[in-house]
Chains A and B, each alone.
Chain A
């Protein structure tokens, strides 16, 4: 891939995610009645391209590439596809790719939007301090976990609909039991919430150290936005464990919250003097 820069390689990976999404539509139509390796291989190829682009950028900048929106979003995407490739090793879980690929494609397209990657042509950039790197990595991992949680939520809703209204489809599909899916939504969401909390705490600590002029309550839109996202996920966690609100409402909450994150992440970042000086 010497002829292409890391963004080109990432764009290729996103195209393959898109191919996988198109193929996934066929799997959905067939009701997940067969183990399909094609999707796994497509996502494996995309993973290879995606990893190559991250390595290329890491070498170019000489540090871990999670310091701007493009890099962080790409890292979220990479976390999701890596998790899928690991669980997809078991043929019974390979169908998960059909749910993951639309999310991967959406995140990938989002990452490629203009304005998210100011360091696209930079040959070397100063490495961010350790707290900033940790903050960015943990935030990316938390959004990856929320992404996976929404994927599991989508599977839950599909299987729930099948069990109630398309009964044969429910028994012949390869989807796991609905109770297991519900547990997966809850655990991934809780893991994401813990990572988000720690990531935000590290970010706050980092800002306090650097004494950034916008580092005050209400001084930066991204900080307000992050607080809102944290409260949103806290609400879901409380709803699940305190009020036993599992099932459909919880799955919809997990999906809706992640869609909110996807739709507002870019805007809040662009309007943030701290994240987009």
Chain B
């Protein structure tokens, strides 16, 4: 009995197709039951997330026959009648095991190294396990996948760092301030990214939030959503003495804050550190303010560059992760009485691999 994988992911198909193949959570046990009753698979797990739909099946069928049957099952299940080319991939052993491990480790995710997929995979496995649709082969494979994910997380940097602008801003704040729970945040301009950044800071414990916008109504609305206080646009500098973090995203065509204006404000703040996040284009804050003592200025490009650098660092870890995955997959296949990639008992098939 070998483990086969068939499915679609963000790498192989657009969302317009993926959404057609998605399984509603409540429907999964019934589909698994159906799949086993057809005799295609003796054990099965269905993973359905916004970025992938995959069936992991332990089957006694020959791989080619198994792939054809699983593909037919998947298409029929969703009543999909349009032509398909390379959107669906099929993987036989040992690639199927490698793929499962890579998915668990976040190596196949849209955001490299993200951890949400591991929780989704555990849930998918648990659903199948509870309904009695897994057996010795899939149980071992999934348990090993979770162990590999843990090992990869603890021994490599694949999950290190933030890859979104909001979370990078939070990380920077945590490198400047002792703690965020006694910090006050001011949002100038009620844009979408500034809202997300403010939310990220609030989620890490920022004490209070002030919102100022040219349209006071918008400021009031955003302050209401964030649980903060709205202030009139003309008055934001009066509140500055108590502020530790400023997020600016207005559409002003000129600098809102320059060095000459900030210097007296900093004196009023007794030179406490100030984090200024300027996500406006054109910029709201004069770049010169970064040269002032105790002022730390980041614009949207700085934040994006850090996020990109983090992704680059993660990419550099791929080789280390894959080495661990390869060793663990070979170990699992040896343990299961199968042979590894050098001499598989049956040809390893890969139709439009996801990796």
Contact = CB atoms under 8 A, between A and B. Distances in A.
Interface of A: 159, 163-164, 167-168, 170-172, 175, 177-180, 183, 244-249
A171 B178 contact: no
A248 B295 CA distance: 11
A14 B172 CA distance: 38
Interface stretch (B52-60, B123-131, B301-309, B327-335): B301-309
A159 B175 contact: yes
A175 B176 CA distance: 10
Interface string B286-318: 000011011010100010011001100100000
B interface bracket (residues with beta carbon within 8 Å of A):
20 to 34
Contacts of B309: 168
A251 to B, nearest CB: 10
Interface string B240-282: 0000000000000000000000000000001101000000000
B288 to A, nearest CB: 12
Given A164-B290, A168-B309, A171-B168, A244 B176 contact: no
Interface string B23-58: 000000000000000000000000000000000000
Contact of B176 (A179, A245, A248): A179
A175 B168 CA distance: 16
Interface string B311-349: 001000000000000000000000000000000000000
A171 B172 contact: yes
28 contacts: A163-B172, A163-B176, A164-B290, A167-B172, A167-B302, A168-B309, A168-B310, A170-B172, A170-B175, A171-B168, A171-B175, A172-B160, A172-B161, A172-B313, A177-B176, A178-B175, A178-B176, A178-B273, A179-B176, A179-B178, A244-B270, A244-B271, A246-B271, A246-B294, A247-B271, A247-B294, A248-B294, A249-B293
A247 B273 CA distance: 8
Given A171-B168, A177-B177, A179-B273, 13 more contacts: A163-B172, A164-B290, A167-B302, A168-B305, A168-B309, A170-B175, A172-B313, A179-B178, A244-B270, A245-B271, A246-B271, A247-B273, A247-B294
B184 interface: no
Contacts of A175: 175
B306 A167 contact: yes
Contacts of A177: 174-178
Between B161, B177, B178, B313, the greatest number of chain A beta carbons within 10 A of the residue's beta carbon is seen for B178
A38 to B, nearest CB: 18
Q: Is the interface of A mostly helix, strand, loop or mixed?
A: helix
A167 B171 CA distance: 11
A171 B157 CA distance: 14
Nearest to A183: B178
Contacts of B271: 244-247
Between A159, A175, A178, the greatest number of chain B beta carbons within 10 A of the residue's beta carbon is seen for A178
Contacts of A179: 176-178, 273
Nearest to A178: B176
Given A171-B168, A179-B273, A247-B294, A163 B305 contact: no
Contacts of B305: 167-168
Contact of A163 (B161, B270, B296, B310): B296
A158 to B, nearest CB: 12
A111 B305 CA distance: 47
A257 to B, nearest CB: 19
Given A172-B160, A172-B161, A167 B178 contact: no
Contacts of B177: 177, 179
Given A177-B177, A179-B177, A249-B293, A171 B171 contact: yes
Contacts of A172: 160-161, 310, 313
Nearest to B244: A179
Contacts of A248: 293-294
Nearest to B275: A163
A159 B293 CA distance: 13
Between B161, B171, B172, B176, the greatest number of chain A beta carbons within 10 A of the residue's beta carbon is seen for B176
Nearest to B291: A164
A244 B310 CA distance: 36
A163 B293 CA distance: 12
A81 B313 CA distance: 34
Contacts of B293: 247-249
B94 to A, nearest CB: 32
Given A168-B310, A172-B160, A178-B273, A163 B175 contact: yes
Interface in B141-180: 160-162, 168, 171-172, 174-178
A71 B73 CA distance: 83
A212 B168 CA distance: 64
A244 B178 CA distance: 18
Contacts of B291: 164
B176 to A, nearest CB: 5
A164 B310 contact: no
Contacts of A244: 270-271
A168 B305 CA distance: 8
Contacts of B160: 172
A116 to B, nearest CB: 39
Contacts of A167: 172, 298, 302, 305-306
Contacts of A249: 293
Contacts of B162: 171
A171 B161 contact: yes
A178 B294 CA distance: 10
A129 B177 CA distance: 48
B59 to A, nearest CB: 44
Nearest to B170: A171
Contacts of B310: 168, 172
Contacts of B176: 163, 177-179
